[in-house]
A and B are shown apart, each in its own frame.
Chain A
Amino acid sequence: MKYSIFSLARAAFSGHKTWQRTWRDASPKDHYDVVIIGGGGHGLATAWFLASEYGIRNVAVLEKGWIGSGNAGRNTTIIRSNYGLPGNTGFYELSMKLWERMEQDLNYNTMVSQRGVINLYHSDAQRDAYARRGNTMRINGIDAELLDLAAVKKMMPFLNFDNARFPVQGGLLQRRGGTARHDAVVWGYAHAASAIGVDIIQNCEVSGFVRDANGKVTGVETSRGKIGAGKVGMAVAGSSSRVAAMAGLRLPIESHVLQAFVSEAIKPLIPNVMTFGAGHFYVSQSDKGGLVFGGDIDGYNSYAQRGNMPVMEDVCEGGMALLPMIGRVRLLRQWGGIMDMSMDGSPIIDKTPVDGLYLNAGWCYGGFKATPGSGLVFAHLLARDELHKEAARFRLDRFRRGAMIDEKGVGAQPNLH
């Protein structure tokens, strides 16, 4: 049933008894043209684009738990395309453009809210770095504005301008940046992909790869039996190393815990998405009213999906330093996700050295905003066996060649990215 205010009103007459499952509860078939491991945003988006853009509909998405139970359901919902290095800039803008049409594509309200992302700067050096980045964006046709102090004050009069340890001097603003409702992105892709034939198979954990005599991957072993596949794509974020290890691969990736936090719901207080430039803190306010915020990763390898107090405190310190008005707002919930931190802070979308196995990983803490773009370029790779032009630099061999995409310039130490 097509979703609209009219269908809602009609359904209301029947006490909403007429609604169907949002996506089909599929059981695995023997063979698919493409099997995607990972029912998160990236995996589901890949399936959607395979089916809708590339005409490959015999596709399964395998999810070990319930769809969206990984990082797609545990992030701070920010979308933006304010990257500064070739490779990232074009890709994230491709993704942004897909966000802008997502609701119409999927017939699902993912609440894409372009209310602006501002990165605050607190020093001349930071301003210069943002100027460089903002100009890169503009040269690539992406909106960016460099705001001075007066403009920031006007836009956000509630920041600490009086007695800040590191006074705000201005900010780099991308007005088209914003947030989207993370769970709805998962459900929307599932809804749309399922409707055009993609099988979404939950509670189906991959335990190994099926390989032929030449070593080519021809399927996967799962908790729901063996499933054959023409090609297998991995989109498993924090579990990338674990799944790759089943194919004998070692990746330039470490898994780290990133915490995020939400406050109690309050009436509208913060209009946009902002990042503090002198500490680890970024925040936006959800439609429901909670302040959604986060900061740095905990800094040590972890698969525990929970963090510790030093980072929780560090983030709140940053929050209070920037926004002393939130002192009496209460933190409601903290959670942790497993980030696939790559060695240069940028993603990897490529074939692997194992024939038939394709990799989509290394998203660090920025995977959510990439969801639609990642789906499209990964689908392109799976369908055509060639890198999409906007993802041509996300090659796996770039580390070996020395062509890293290192936005922060901190080198091969994932916890610094």
Chain B
Amino acid sequence: MVSHAQSHRLESGGLIDRSAPLNFRFDGKTFAGFQGDTLASALIANSVKLVGRSFKYHRPRGILTSGSEEPNALVELRTGARREPNTKATTTELYDGLEAASQNRWPSLRHDLMAVNQLFSPIFVAGFYYKTFMWPAKFWEAIYEPAIRRAAGLGRAAGVADPDHYDKAWAYCDVLIAGSGPAGLAAALAAGRSGARVILCEEDFALGGRLLADGGMIDGMPAAEWVSRTLAELATLPDVRIMTRTTLFGVYDGGTYGAFERVNDHLPSPPEHQVRQRLWRVVAKRCVVAAGAIERPIVFAGNDTPGVMMASAVRTYVARYAATPAKRIALFTNNEDGWRTVETALGAGLQIAAVVDARPDVSAAHRALAGKTGFPVLNGSVSGVDGGKDGVRKISVALAGGARAEVEADGLAVSGGWNPAVGLTSYHRGRPKWQDDISAFVPDSAPPGMVAAGAASGAFGLGACLRQGFAAGAAAAQSAGHNGNTGTPPVADDEAFSLTPLWQVAGKGKAFVDYQHDVTASDIELAQREGFESVEHLKRYTTLGMATDQGKTSNVAGLAIMAAVSGKSIPETGTTIYRPPYVPVAIGALAGHHRDENFHATRLTPSHHWAAEQGAVFVDTGLWKRAQWYPRAGEKDWLESVNREVKAVRGGVGFCDVSTLGKIDVHGPDAGAFLDRVYINTFANLAVGKARYGLMLREDGMVYDDGTTSRLAEDHYFLTTTTAKAGPVMQHLEFCRQVLFPELDVQLTSVSDQWAQFSVAGPKTRDLLREIVDPAEDLSNEGFPFMGAREVLLRGGIRARLFRISFSGEMAFEISVPARYGDALVRNLMLAGKQFGVTPYGTEALGVMRIEKGHVAGPELNGTTTAADLGLGKMMSTKKDFVGRVMAGREALVAPDRQVVVGVKPTDRARRLRSGAHIIPKGEIPGTANDQGYVTSVCFSPTLDQWIGLALVERGRERIGEIVHAHDPLRGEDYDVELCNPVFYDPDGGRQRG
């Protein structure tokens, strides 16, 4: 089972489950680890030092940290479609069968030929690419850029569709807590006890934060025991919810927080019916940020050698995972906290090679320990590292007095102090403030409702973390209205924290500030020299802090160095703007369920399933699926089907589902007055039982929408909109009702879904409808004239509405039934219409017939046309005010040379016409000046047996009969068309009135 001995695993201890051994593979080699390991801890236990290559120079890199701030140990996790590039080994939970591969190297991690870049490093300084690759100009896209792109980037994305599912959810609480360290748990205790609804998010899979590695005594018991007692108490509180594997990544307005939960990332793949990750939008009245602090490196030559590790990470690997990064380890610290590492290492039986402390005043207790244990304490700084891809061999020390020393060690723990995690508190563009005693930025302001506690606020002692967390939790609960008894706060001692600021040590060789992006101290100096002194310029010029770790370990050091070289203080130099997310979030999680066919909801018409049974081809129209045509056996293409449908309507009878039109009930004594203000024409004088075509403008005078509105009762109109504008028109009408004309007594309701509506058209329409409609209803031209509208009874007792309106130009009715009868209606139409050869037709045939009739639709109502452009200028009432009236009169909107709707047909009857072709005067060479319009809508007219279309053409209506060019260079076509009357069919309208 176990392929490689875990040579760097301690015999006992740690929070791993030794009864659950796991196998995993890294770069093709099989290793063993335990449940409770991360990939990083398991690699360390297996003595793997080299885990990755840097971005620019391809330097060999090892594991630097034990958390989400990791810049180096990025791997491609999983394989095939589940491959995840740039995955931090330090936060990847080990599972059995895990496969990971190093990235950004070729051909292998140990022998990376791209490391040749290091030879060019004298030239590859910050911003070098802005100064070169310019000649010859053509070479950029052809040669330089592809090479740069291949070399850049880190891991490889899968390149195929992500097979996993994601979802999103909402959560609410009074107090949201980020982090489960001492401050976070104390905050949860206080808030939970006071009765607040609490959500605590912890990005780790284990709770306790630094307590997991650094222990300590709380309330007189070991920290681990306190954590488990605390969790047990929290579990008894009904409204406290602990979410592990969940990272709070951003704070948005109104107390909305973004978090993502790695629901099943600790498994090879999610179980059936489960998601990989879930995006949470947490709405919280208050938020306590107890996200801790991040230990910062010190910039010295060779500080990127594998085996150089943050001191706290060393402790985490040893204490939490029982994995030893080194056997003989040196410590380089400038602060008291670093010394904990000595205790942890000695406790695990490791050798201490030396402690290099930049502070002159190391305590007597430490010196005594050193003396007893037998390791030197050197007052000075590490100035160089002798080592390579297999790790550290020796370190050079610049002693305070100027002398040098060398120390043999196979690992170096570094502590440059701690930076509070100020991300969340700074995401509303609040800048953190500098705090001298810890030499770090701490939150100054925070988004409304948020407060930082514990190390995140700069309090590094355990006692202080507990006190602050508890107080913040209690205060948050109280301000959210919960005043329950919070009981006694947990108590612990405060360790002393002393630090001598140290950012950079002089030495030979590259000294890295931003490990992942290979930004060195000299890059920062160069940036300063070239005038990129502002931190935002520094960041952009050197790419400092722009890597996947967002500069968590590098930003402060970088600006400290900039401050030094530009002779300013660190607070004067300032920070860049902090931007979410706190850690990178999978795009899949942010999309959730909304992908593939679930990208947007789907609307189905009442006859949808019937149409599907007929084999209809559907087209997406907004969210709707509409039957586009109904192919029949033997038809060779869509055109043949559509031609048949058109001919069937023009020669007999057909029907089409038009339920997608927006339908609005307009009620109330002032309904007519209201419509007069929103339409350009008059509706108050419309007789009950009549329908009228109406045109609406936007306030800027352009046509907004059109449709037929019927008066069903004195105080009840039934308004229809186009399919596309159903929602926007409803919103617009509500605006008119509620904001512009509040004095009118009018009520609006969408009834779009209440009615199944069908256009029944063709000379045999009346014959068909007589089969459907109760015989007592008079459908004759006298009894139900053109533009009549009224309720009728259908055979079988169903109440329906009939509208004698026609889009097709034929004798036609639209018939509406309550939607649940829509399916029955089509089946009955088919049954009753068999004798008349009734033919269902789709949106294509509908479109053909409207073009034959010259009716405008979406392509002409394009938001830049006026009523007059559409040939409907005469509808505009001069006797009343209406929305858009005044602006419609502006000079350019009434100019004589506007493009107006006209018919077009190729002079060669056999030629196909295409939408989007431009209109150019005949005989002229196309150019900007003579581009006079374009073809908006086309169809093959089976009625006229040729392609026809509508076009918007300058002064078009004055030019009927003129031959012009249809110019279509995109499709390589150029042909003559005749400008003609847009009403190609039955221009006097006799058929629809008959």
Contact = CB atoms under 8 A, between A and B. Distances in A.
- A/B: CB atoms within 8 Å of each other: yes
Interface of A: 3-5, 7-9, 12, 15-17, 19-23, 25, 65-66, 68-69, 73, 86, 89-90, 100-101, 103-104, 107-115, 122-123, 125, 127-136, 138-140, 144-146, 158, 160, 162-166, 181, 183-184, 187-188, 202, 263-269, 278-279, 285, 287-289, 304-306, 308-309, 312-313, 316-321, 324-335, 398, 400-404, 406, 408-412
A20 B530 contact: yes
Contacts of B21: none
Given A9-B123, A113-B141, A288 B543 contact: yes
Contacts of B531: 21-23, 25
Interface in B597-647: 597-600, 602, 619-621
Contact of B536 (A15, A66, A285): A66
Contacts of A289: 149, 152-154
B820 interface: no
A165 B428 contact: no
B596 A135 contact: no
Contact of B864 (A109, A184, A187, A406): A406
Interface stretch (B252-260, B462-470, B666-674): B252-260
Contacts of B931: 86, 136, 139
Nearest to A333: B579
Interface string B396-415: 00000000000000000000
B86 A134 contact: no
Nearest to B866: A402
B233 interface: no
Nearest to A314: B594
Nearest to B598: A165
Given A112-B140, A264-B86, A308-B252, A329 B587 contact: yes
A163 B596 contact: yes
B597 A164 contact: yes
B55 interface: yes
A267 B863 contact: no
B928 interface: yes
29 contacts: A5-B131, A15-B522, A17-B529, A22-B531, A104-B134, A107-B134, A108-B130, A110-B130, A112-B140, A113-B145, A114-B141, A122-B620, A123-B621, A127-B916, A131-B968, A131-B971, A138-B969, A163-B597, A164-B599, A166-B600, A187-B130, A266-B156, A304-B428, A309-B252, A313-B590, A328-B164, A335-B577, A402-B701, A409-B863
Given A139-B967, A402-B887, 15 more contacts: A3-B130, A111-B145, A125-B859, A127-B915, A265-B55, A268-B149, A304-B429, A312-B258, A317-B599, A318-B599, A324-B161, A328-B83, A330-B86, A333-B581, A409-B863
A128 B916 contact: yes
A312 B550 contact: no
Given A66-B537, A184-B130, A287-B145, A132 B916 contact: yes
B599 A332 contact: no
B596 A139 contact: no
B148 interface: yes
A268 B581 contact: no
Contact of B918 (A21, A135, A162, A403): A135
Contact of A165 (B55, B148, B596, B936): B596
Nearest to B86: A264
A287 B543 CA distance: 13
A85 B162 CA distance: 40
Instruction: Please give me the 7 A-B residue pairs with the lowest Cβ-Cβ distance, nearest first.
Output: A409-B863, A131-B916, A327-B162, A289-B153, A327-B588, A402-B890, A330-B584
A166 B915 contact: no
Contact of A131 (B166, B530, B915): B915
Contact of A138 (B131, B159, B585, B970): B970
Contacts of B587: 263, 316, 319-320, 326-331
Contacts of B429: 304-306
A30 B586 CA distance: 53
B608 to A, nearest CB: 16
B372 to A, nearest CB: 46
A328 B84 contact: yes
Nearest to A18: B529
Contacts, number: 352
A264 B620 contact: no
Contact of B916 (A23, A134, A183, A278): A134
A361 to B, nearest CB: 20
Contact of B161 (A20, A128, A318, A325): A325
A129 to B, nearest CB: 7
Interface residues on B, range: 35 or more
Interface of B: 55, 82-86, 122-123, 125, 128-135, 137, 140-141, 145, 148-150, 152-162, 164, 166, 168, 250, 252-253, 256, 258, 279, 281, 427-429, 522, 526, 529-532, 534, 536-537, 540-541, 543, 547-548, 550, 577, 579-581, 584-588, 590-592, 594-600, 602, 619-621, 698-702, 858-859, 862-864, 887, 890-893, 914-918, 926-928, 931, 934, 936-937, 967-971
A328 B158 contact: yes
Most buried by B among A65, A133, A264: A264
B584 A264 contact: yes
B641 to A, nearest CB: 16
Given A4-B135, A265-B154, A19 B428 contact: no
A306 B581 CA distance: 12
A333 B540 CA distance: 14
A331 B701 CA distance: 43
B626 to A, nearest CB: 11
Contacts of B602: 165
A400 B890 contact: yes
A402 B590 contact: no
Contacts of B588: 320, 326-328
Contacts of B154: 264-267, 289
Contacts of A129: 859, 916
Contacts of B168: 313
A12 B86 contact: no
Nearest to B154: A265
B148 A287 contact: yes
A396 B157 CA distance: 48
A410 B970 CA distance: 26
B428 to A, nearest CB: 7
Nearest to A101: B137
Contacts of B123: 5, 8-9, 12
Contacts of B937: 128
B52 to A, nearest CB: 13
B971 to A, nearest CB: 7
Given A164-B597, A326-B587, A411 B156 contact: no
B591 A319 contact: yes
Contacts of B166: 327
A190 to B, nearest CB: 9
A408 B863 contact: yes
A125 B858 contact: yes
Contacts of B585: 330-331
A139 B161 contact: no
Given A308-B256, A324-B595, A136 B161 contact: no
Contacts of B134: 3-4, 103-104, 107-109
A181 B550 CA distance: 20
A20 to B, nearest CB: 7
Given A21-B531, A410-B863, A264 B85 contact: yes
A131 B162 CA distance: 33
Nearest to A344: B700
A308 B253 contact: yes
Contacts of B258: 309, 312
B596 A90 contact: no
A289 B928 CA distance: 39
B534 A402 contact: no
A14 B426 CA distance: 40
A326 B157 contact: yes
A264 B141 contact: no
A267 B122 contact: no
A199 to B, nearest CB: 14
